[in-house]
């Protein structure tokens, strides 16, 4: 807009930006649906009238989260897969109560507090963390990483009583 002198051009630029945002949202939606389809959680069926019907697969139905926030537990498998689950977050100060609630839940689930906003756990807990993130609507502030190694693995193995 800084290079255009005419107000008419300013309005045209603003209109095009709006259209571009809609296109970005459509691409994100299509990418999300494609990801679900590739993960075999949904089936996609083309109807005769051109519409598309999306249904959950059996695997998708199993993944539906029906946790109660205060009763979530992470199941300990028979054998550890030797991977670390790392939850990182940077929740703004104006959402401090939610940040403290997330810390509370991570500690209650048995996570090790690596730093103030970095928590580590040895067992698969993606579904449980996703549920908490969605419950508090903090998806954009939280990252979930599955790591093969951590520099203080010996200490973590002792903390979690792993072999």
Q: 36 and 90 in one domain?
A: no
pLDDT at 52: 77
Token pair in block for residue 47: 């109807």
pTM here is: 0.63
Better-scored residue on pLDDT, 52 or 6: 52
pLDDT at 75: 92
The rounded distance, in Å, linking the Cα atoms of 137 and 125 is 18
- Provide the number of structural domains found in the chain: 2
Q: What is the pLDDT of residues 15-48, one digit of tens each?
A: 666 666 666 667 776 777 777 777 777 787 888 8
The verdict on residue 1 lying in a domain is no
Residue 29 belongs to domain spanning: 7-62
Q: 114 and 73 in one domain?
A: yes
Q: 105 and 51 in one domain?
A: no
Q: 79 and 147 in one domain?
A: yes
The rounded distance, in Å, linking the Cα atoms of 96 and 33 is 33
């Amino acid at each position: 807009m800084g290079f255009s002198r005419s107000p008419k051009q300013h309005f045209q630029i603003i209109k095009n930006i709006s259209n571009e945002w809609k296109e970005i949202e459509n691409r994100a939606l299509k990418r999300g649906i494609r990801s679900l389809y590739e993960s075999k959680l949904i089936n996609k069926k083309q109807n005769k009238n051109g519409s598309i019907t999306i249904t959950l697969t059996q695997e998708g139905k199993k993944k539906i989260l029906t946790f109660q926030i205060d009763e979530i537990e992470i199941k300990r498998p028979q054998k550890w897969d030797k991977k670390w689950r790392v939850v990182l977050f940077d929740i703004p100060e104006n959402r401090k109560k939610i940040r403290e609630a997330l810390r509370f839940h991570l500690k209650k689930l048995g996570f090790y507090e690596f730093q103030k906003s970095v928590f580590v756990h040895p067992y698969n807990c993606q579904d449980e963390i996703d549920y908490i993130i969605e419950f508090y609507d903090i998806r954009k502030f939280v990252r979930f990483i599955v790591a093969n190694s951590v520099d203080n693995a010996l200490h973590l193995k002792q903390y979690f009583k792993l072999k």
